[in-house]
């Protein structure tokens, strides 16, 4: 159960202290812990060495060899904030997102050539417990299966500023898209390459409410929350490393830490969003 709190900075729901925790294991995921995160009973779960080192190297090379990765221009080395392969529903209409998902589907599939798709492997394990696990859809069209992101701005304090993953589901541009049925988001992250000590996750024990989002002007994005407004809320850091799987409660405010150098390729992430819609688990990107 969550608790409603009010502060001078951000209002919303918090997890009880015994649930605002990071659980860790190695190798094969404990699906019970994944379900704890999915159902809001745990903040985050990290599985070390989920992807073998050889497959991590293959996935990383496939990403950099792909002619389909695209730059996202912004603050970063050579004016590029990140390189992305795959579709993102954020700031797009449902139609436009599904168009991108369709046109990049083969390129995303090629990313896993010579390796196992680790996100699909996790979803198969979840299907043994949940039953129906499928891509979110609209008018017979399907969401993307995963996307790859490499941040190119490691020298900054944050690779990705504090945000939540729920607010974006309410974007009016995606009215009717079935992801809008979801009330709790679990982000699935797999890391084929993490430079030492960089790209760690930080979570704060606050799931912002609509009043906070409206006040900060992030009603349909959940991005960004000013870091100085989070100082009153407990936080935890997830020390991700190459080969890790991490699932997090995406309703909580979270960020990606920087603090490294832009001299080498940065953290490579494979990711998708998931959430329960009735008794079905949906995924999207």
CATH number at residue 173: 2.60.120
256, 153 Cβ separation under 8 angstroms: no
Express each pLDDT in 184-226 by its tens digit.
999 999 999 998 877 899 999 999 999 999 999 999 999 999 9
Q: Determine the Cα–Cα distance for residues 100 and 284; give it in Å rounded to an integer.
A: 12
Which pLDDT score is estimated for 156? Answer: 74
Q: Which of 275, 177, 163, 181 is nearest to 219 (CA)?
A: 163
Give the whole-angstrom CA distance, residue 224 versus residue 237: 18
Under DSSP, is residue 134 helix (H, G, I), strand (E, B) or coil?
strand
- Would you say residue 5 lies in a domain? no
Contact 247, 126 (CB under 8 A): no
Residues 244-248: what's their mean pLDDT?
98
User: DSSP letter string over 79-127?
Assistant: GEEEEEES---TTS-HHHHHHHHHHTHHHHHHHTTTS--HHHHHHHHHH
Mean pLDDT of 39-50: 98
What does pLDDT average to over the chain? 92
Tokens 């492997």 -> residue: 121
Local confidence band at 259 (pLDDT 50, 70, 90 cut-offs): low
Write out the residue range of the structural domain in which residue 37 sits.
22-284
Q: Which residues contact 18 (CB under 8 A, 6 or more apart)?
A: none
Q: How confident is the model at residue 180 (pLDDT cuts 50, 70, 90)?
A: very high
- Residues 88-121: tens digit of each pLDDT: 999 999 999 999 999 999 999 999 999 999 999 9
Residue 7 lies in a domain: no
Mean pLDDT of 121-127: 98
Confidence of residue 7 (pLDDT cuts 50, 70, 90): very low
Tell me, yes or no, whether 10 lies in a domain. no
Whether 1 is covered by a domain: the verdict is no
Least confident of 232-236, 239-243, 265-269: 265-269
Q: Assess if residue 13 is contained within a domain.
A: no
Assigned domain for 196 exists: yes
Query: Tokens standing for 272?
Result: 């998708």
Indicate the pairing of strand 22-26 with strand 44-48.
parallel
Contact between 244 and 193 under an 8 Å Cβ cutoff? The reply is no
Report the C-alpha dihedral over residues 192, 193, 197, 201, rounded to 10 degrees: -50
Peptide bond into 224 cis (omega under 30): yes
Residue 127 lies in a domain: yes
Q: Is residue 11 part of a domain?
A: no
Instruction: List pLDDT tens digits, range 140-173.
Output: 999 999 999 998 765 578 888 999 999 999 999 9
Residue 62 predicted with pLDDT over 80 = yes
Residue 9: pLDDT band (50, 70, 90) is confident
Rounded CA-CA distance 61/67 in Å is 12
Number of structural domains in the chain: 1
């Amino acid at each position: 159960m969550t608790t409603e709190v009010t502060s001078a900075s951000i209002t919303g729901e918090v997890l009880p202290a015994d649930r605002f925790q990071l659980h860790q294991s190695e190798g094969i995921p404990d699906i019970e812990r994944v379900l704890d995160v999915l159902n809001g009973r745990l903040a985050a779960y990290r599985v070390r060495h989920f992807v073998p080192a050889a497959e991590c190297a293959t996935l990383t090379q496939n990403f950099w060899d792909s002619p389909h990765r695209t730059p996202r221009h912004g603050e970063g080395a050579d004016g590029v904030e990140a390189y992305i392969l795959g579709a993102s529903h954020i700031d797009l209409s449902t139609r436009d997102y599904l168009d991108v998902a369709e046109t990049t589907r083969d390129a995303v599939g090629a990313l896993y050539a010579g390796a196992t798709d680790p996100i699909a492997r996790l979803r198969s394990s979840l299907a043994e417990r949940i039953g129906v696990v499928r891509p979110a859809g609209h008018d017979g069209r399907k969401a993307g299966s995963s996307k790859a992101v490499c941040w190119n701005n490691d020298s900054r304090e944050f690779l990705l500023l504090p945000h939540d993953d729920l607010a974006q589901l309410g974007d009016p541009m995606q009215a009717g898209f079935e992801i809008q049925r979801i009330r709790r988001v679990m982000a699935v992250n797999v890391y084929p390459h993490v430079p030492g000590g960089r790209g760690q996750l930080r979570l704060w024990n606050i799931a912002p409410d609509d009043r906070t989002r409206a006040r900060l002007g992030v009603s349909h994005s959940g991005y960004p929350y000013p870091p100085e407004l989070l100082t009153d809320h407990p936080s935890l850091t997830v020390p991700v490393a190459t080969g890790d799987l991490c699932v997090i409660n995406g309703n909580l405010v979270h960020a990606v830490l920087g603090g490294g150098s832009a001299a080498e390729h940065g953290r490579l992430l494979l990711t998708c969003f998931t959430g329960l819609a009735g008794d079905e688990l949906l995924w999207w990107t």
